[in-house]
Every structure is written in C-alpha cells, then in structure tokens.
Structure 1
Amino acid sequence: MTNENNCVLANGCMGAGTAACTKHCTAFIQMHGVSGNGGRSAAAGLPREYRLVTLQNSPARGDQPEAYKAAYAYASTFNRQFDQQSGSVAAEDRIKSLYLVSEKTGTGKTTTAAALLNEWLRVHYSGSLRRGLTPLQRPAYFLDVNEWQTEFNLATMANDDEGMAEFQWKMKLAMSAPFAVLDDIGVRDCTPAFRGYLHAVINARVTNQLPTIYTSNIALDQLWQVFGERRLADRVGDLCREIEFVGESKRGMRR
C-alpha cells in the first residue's frame, strides 16, 4: 500500500502511487517527519487536523465553488515566490494577500487557508529542489490569533515569563515567515497591549511584502470597529483580496 494519501507533496510527485511512495521516502520525512507528525508541516504550526488537507481533498471545496475557484487561481501564483525572493518580480505581479470572510463559523475558511498553506509548502519544497536550492525549514507559518490572544492574557495575568516568551516567539515567526496564515483575526475585547503586538505582526508582513492569508467573521470594511482604530484594518486591506464564504456552518456534520 502506497503513502500518497499521507503526504502533501503527492500532487505533482513522480513517485506518488509507486513502490517508492512509502513512509521512508526522504521527501516525506522532510515534510512530515519520521512519525508523520513532524517535519516542515509541524514547523509551520499547523494543527494536526489540517496537516494533510489540500485544495483537492478539502471538505469545503464542494460547498464553496466560487471561493475555491479563487483559491486555485491564487495558488497558481505561488511559483512566483522564487522570483519575489530574488527581487526579480514586478510589483504588480508579486503574490498578494487574501482575506477569507464569512459571518457564520464553520464554513471552511480555516480549512481553505490551511489547504493553501500546504500548497505553498509543496511548491516551495519541490520548486527549491528543482532550482538546486535548499528548502527552508519553515517557509510558512500558521498563527491562530484567538489562541495567541488567550496565551497573551494568561501570561500577563499570571506574570508568566515563560508563557510570554512563547507568545513572543510565535510573534517573531508570524512576522518573518515568507508566507503566513493569521486565523480568526477578528478578535474581540482586544486590549491596547495585544493590539500593539498584532499591529506589529501585520505591519511587518505588509512592509516586507510577505503574502498573508487572513480569516475572519468580520467583513474587511468593518474590521476597524473590532480593533477600535482604522490603521490596523487598513494595513490588513493593503493589496489584499477579500473572498466571501457562504452558507451555513458544516462543523460537526462531516465524518
């Protein structure tokens, strides 16, 4: 039995489905680790439930045809990352950001963002090898903003230096990763201190022209009301396409 269903590199891999497609494959180990729960996939911060989701197998694909049409088009630009890194891509052709939004929860925004992150990992790993480059250990990073805010609140209330160090480490990764997902960016009850950290992440990514996928249940033009100011929302919207997810929540309905 081959291993292509357990590897995000399978799409486009010459060995997928052949006798060479095993858990001992070097590419599989580098992407997923010896255990299947490590490697670049784990380094990206992806929760385990999303580490194998792709645009092809995403459970949200059938319910969101328009959003997935846009997602496929967006993923088709990922090869530009190599030109962008070398500075040889024109400003109008550089990879933009996405803002995935729906008022309802459970419509597939996070699943889709994770699928796009996995596609970035695949393109980065395979494309680097074809160009004789060494793939980065962390070419992408997934930050659950709601969870990150909770970690900040707990570390602050408990005066926990270790917890704050973990919080700041995640912040640095989110600021510097070539590609990032900032999941659930419509945080509520946002303190000025946390808002400052979040602004620093977004500002660093926009200033350095690093493509970012944001997910939210707040429309982009209303995001400023959550943050209590317009400048952070304006930074999110800079060179960013908004894609709406429609319908009711499917959470808990799939097996």
Structure 2
Amino acid sequence: MDHMTRINLTGWDDALAPHNLTPDHINNITGDPYDHWSIARREIHHATQHVPFIYRRALADQPDVRAWADSLTAASRDQSTGRVTTHVGRHRSLLLLGPTGTGKTHQAYGALRYLAPTGIAWRWTATSSADLYAALRPRAGVDSETEFRRYAHAPLLLIDDLGAAKTSEWTEEINFRLVNHRYENQLPTIFTSNVLPNELMDRVGDRVSSRLIEMCDRVVIKGTDRRRQAAA
C-alpha cells in the first residue's frame, strides 16, 4: 500500500484510544514510507484485512493482556534502537486459558488490534491448531516443511485452540517442534486453549506444557459461554 494512501479506520476508535492516537494522526502524517506513522497505517490495514470479521472490533480489555502487549511494544522498540523500521523484538509469549466461549480468541485478536497502531512492523500470522494441522498435512504439491517454517519463523504468531484437536503422534510432534522453535528463539506467540492450567500437560504433553509454562505470561479467563448466552 502506498504510504500516502488513506485507509478506512471505522471501528478503530477504541483500539487507537489507549495510544492517544486518532485517525487523523494516522492518515495525515506523511513522509518516509518506513516512518512510525506509515508503518502504523500498514499494520492497521493488515489487521483490517486479516482479523476475522466476527473479531473486527475486538478489544484487549483484560489488564494482563494489555500489559503483555505494552511490554512487547517496549521491548521491540528497545531492541530496534537505531533502525529506521522497528521490528518485533524477542519477548515472552502469552497463554490465554479458560473454558469454551469465555472470550479468549476475542482477547487474542484484540491484542493484535491493540498492537497495530504502535508503529512497529508486526507482520503477524494467525491460525487455529486445526487449520495449522490441515496446512501441514502431507499432500501432493505442497512442501510441508516450507509451510511449517512459515509459522515457526513468523515474527508474531497467534495459535488459537491449542490442544483442542484429537491428539496423535503426528500432532504432538508438530506441537513440540513449533513450540520448541519459538521457545528457543524467544519469538512472541499468543496461544489460546480451552483447558484449565492443571489439564495442560494431559492435552499437549509434558514437553510442550513445560515450555509453555516457562515462556508464557499466563492469563486465565473465567466466565460462562458467551456464545450460548447470545443465542438464548
């Protein structure tokens, strides 16, 4: 997208507010296409295009989720000192746990929307565990290792519903390889899972759960199933 292009910021007022930004800030400040504001516009455009429609107005209103996002932003700026473009820094990950329908995915996409206006080139990738396995399943014409690297090396990654799919040796190995790579390289990742903390090992295995416990800030989201309430 050309750095002079104006973008539609409908639905972004609440996401911009915590950063003391307004749509006019994003649209009117021009200059080097890699400056803070141009990057912010591009990231907002990316989020507008890639956040699922149902989460298009998602907000990170859990204090611990926003605190993690603020810490990631600060670390990324510190580690990018002297660069024209600020890239994603090495940082702890985020693990959102709780029963189905309590708003974990809402918070996860809310965090991505919250990060978008900060002037950092996040270049995030998002998928569910089920879609991840589908993308990596061996089939004609697809290099599974190339697909795996796309997720493993993503600067910022969201994996939704970790541990929800039926486990097998193959899915366990995928989980371990992905989590271990991001653990060893301190690549920030947002995980959601509909398990309680004491059930995590049973769902994803001890090797994965051990790394998740060490690498992640953990947020437990409680409550009832919002989807059932909305349908009632």
Under a length normalisation based on structure 1, what TM-score does the superposition of the two structures give? Answer: 0.66
Report the CA distance shift for 1:149/1:14 in structure 2 as closer, same or farther (over 3 A).
closer
**Structure 2 residue 131 is the aligned partner of structure 1 residue 144:** no
Instruction: State the aligned residue count.
Output: 206
Q: How far off its partner does 1:72 sit?
A: 2.2
**Structure 2 residue 59 is the aligned partner of structure 1 residue 54:** yes
Report the CA distance shift for 1:99/1:193 in structure 2 as closer, same or farther (over 3 A).
same
1:240 aligned residue? 216
1:36 aligned residue? none
Q: How far off its partner does 1:27 sit?
A: 6.6
- Please show how residues 167-186 of structure 1 align to structure 2 within 5 Å: 168-186=145-163
Deviation string, structure 1 residues 150-194 (Cα, Å, up to 9, x no partner): 444xx44xxx224x44x6555323211222211111134222122
Q: How far off its partner does 1:147 sit?
A: 2.3
- Answer whether contact 2:94 2:218 (CA < 8 A) is retained: yes
Q: How far off its partner does 1:230 sit?
A: 1.1
Give the counterpart of 1:192 among 166, 169, 173: 169
- How much identity, in percent, do the aligned residues show? 21
- Please show how residues 71-110 of structure 1 align to structure 2 within 5 Å: 71-77=65-71, 78-84=73-79, 95-102=91-98, 104-110=99-105
**Paired AA for residue 164 in structure 2:** V
Q: How far off its partner does 1:17 sit?
A: 5.7
1:90 aligned residue? none
Tell me how large the CA RMSD over aligned residues is. Answer: 3.3
**Structure 2 residue 199 is the aligned partner of structure 1 residue 222:** yes
Report the CA distance shift for 1:105/1:50 in structure 2 as closer, same or farther (over 3 A).
same
Report the CA distance shift for 1:172/1:7 in structure 2 as closer, same or farther (over 3 A).
farther
Under a length normalisation based on structure 2, what TM-score does the superposition of the two structures give? Answer: 0.72
Q: How far off its partner does 1:76 sit?
A: 2.0
1:30 aligned residue? 42
Look up the SS of the partner of 1:142 in the other structure. Answer: strand
Q: How far off its partner does 1:85 sit?
A: 5.2
- Answer whether contact 1:101 1:215 (CA < 8 A) is retained: yes
**Structure 2 residue 216 is the aligned partner of structure 1 residue 211:** no
Structure 1 moving runs of 4+ over 3 Å: 6-15, 25-29, 39-42, 167-170, 252-255
Distance in 2, matches of 1:199 and 1:209, equals 15
Runs of 5+ consecutive residues of structure 2 not aligned to the other structure: 1-6, 29-36, 82-89
1:111 aligned residue? 106
Deviation string, structure 1 residues 116-160 (Cα, Å, up to 9, x no partner): 12223332xx2x4xxxxxx46x2x2212112222444xx44xxx2
Report the CA distance shift for 1:117/1:32 in structure 2 as closer, same or farther (over 3 A).
closer
- Answer whether contact 1:54 1:119 (CA < 8 A) is retained: yes
1:131 aligned residue? none
**Paired AA for residue 96 in structure 1:** R
Report the CA distance shift for 1:46/1:15 in structure 2 as closer, same or farther (over 3 A).
closer
Runs of 5+ consecutive residues of structure 1 not aligned to the other structure: 34-38, 56-60, 62-67, 87-93, 129-134
Look up the SS of the partner of 2:91 in the other structure. Answer: coil
